[in-house]
């Protein structure tokens, strides 16, 4: 795969460039060290083996060497810091659009998961630093079998389309979409929101989620102008900027 990656990396839009590690604990952690050392915007760090990948709030991410993709992107945004959280939404849309180019319909589970056929195919984790954002992406590409504890919740591109895909090609597709969407968190963010709204799997459904202020249960009515989740609870309409453990509830 290394030769394919080097070839694909030569087609990345500027300023993106690729560094490959044989094995890391977490690509986000590894890239953060490089960012703190002054690495410029656009470095993509990919691991052939990731031993301690994680999602939001430290949840473990199942990673299978040689069939999954695990990589992180260093972004030094030009936009005001208050807009940086939008990068997570822009990334989710970019990954969804890239995967759709391979013939699958992708749903976005706000704020950071991508679904195909009602199961998770990818997740992302955006972490802000003093002057940069590290965006980690984990994607099930050619996985055929999952551990029992996630088998009913996870899927892969291979399981959905019926054949293996070159992981280097998938990576290239994601970077080309990301190059477009990352520049829209300021002046063109409404275009990002339009794409997310079209794919949001939560709208119209009751959900349970955790916020900094505690657990919330309600009906998702849509997304606000800043990408916040609009949740109708017993006390009214709430606009949630961040949440975790978002779960769809059974229909009455």
- What does the pLDDT read at residue 219? 98
Q: Sign of torsion, CA 30 35 38 40?
A: positive
Instruction: Report domain extents, the chain.
Output: 2-199, 206-248
Q: Where are the alpha helices (DSSP H) in the chain?
A: 2-9, 27-36, 86-100, 157-161, 167-181, 189-199
| Interval 189-239: pLDDT, tens | 999 999 999 999 999 999 999 998 899 999 999 999 999 999 999 999 999
Q: Read off the pLDDT of residues 170-180 as tens digits, 9 standing for 90 and up.
A: 999 999 999 99
* 23, two tokens: 């094995």
Question: Check: CATH 3.30.930.10 for 2-199?
Answer: yes
pLDDT at 135 over 80: yes
40-56 average pLDDT score: 83
- Tell me how far apart the alpha carbons of residues 8 and 20 are, in angstroms, rounded to a whole number: 13
Is residue 134 scored above 70 in pLDDT?
A: yes
* CATH architecture assigned to 206-248: Roll (2.30)
φ/ψ (deg, to 5) at 166: -65, 120
Tens-place pLDDT, residues 142-161 = 999 999 999 999 999 999 99
CA distances to 95, 145, 251 from 133, in Å? 17, 33, 37
Residue 125 to residue 140: CA distance in whole angstroms: 15
Domains 2-199 and 206-248 share a fold: no
Calculate the alpha carbon distances from 17 to 122, 169, 199 in Å. Answer: 22, 15, 29
Q: Whole-number mean pLDDT of the chain?
A: 93
Provide the pLDDT confidence category of residue 58 given band limits of 50, 70 and 90.
Answer: very low
Q: What is the pTM of this model?
A: 0.93
């Amino acid at each position: 795969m290394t030769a394919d990656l080097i070839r694909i990396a030569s087609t990345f839009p500027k300023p993106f460039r690729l560094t490959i590690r044989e094995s890391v604990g977490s690509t986000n952690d590894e890239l953060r060290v490089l960012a703190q050392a002054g690495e410029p915007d656009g470095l993509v760090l990919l691991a052939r083996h990731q031993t301690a990948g994680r999602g939001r709030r430290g949840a473990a991410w199942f990673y299978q060497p040689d069939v999954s993709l695990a990589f992180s992107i260093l972004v030094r945004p030009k936009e005001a810091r208050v807009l940086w959280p939008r990068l997570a939404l822009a990334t989710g849309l970019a990954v969804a659009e890239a995967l759709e180019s391979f013939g699958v319909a992708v749903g976005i589970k706000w704020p950071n998961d991508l679904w195909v056929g009602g199961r998770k195919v990818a997740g992302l984790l955006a972490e802000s630093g003093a002057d940069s954002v590290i965006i980690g992406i984990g994607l099930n590409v050619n996985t055929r079998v999952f551990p029992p504890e996630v088998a009913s919740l996870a899927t892969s591109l291979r399981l959905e389309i019926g054949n293996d895909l070159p992981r280097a090609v998938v990576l290239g597709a994601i970077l080309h979409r990301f190059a477009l969407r990352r520049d829209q968190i300021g002046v063109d963010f409404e275009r990002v929101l339009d794409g997310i709204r079209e794919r949001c799997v939560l709208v119209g459904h009751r959900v349970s989620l955790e916020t900094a202020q505690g657990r919330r249960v309600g009906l998702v009515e849509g997304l606000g102008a800043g990408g916040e989740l609009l949740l109708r609870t017993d006390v009214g309409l709430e606009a949630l900027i961040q949440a975790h453990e978002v779960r769809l509830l059974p229909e009455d």
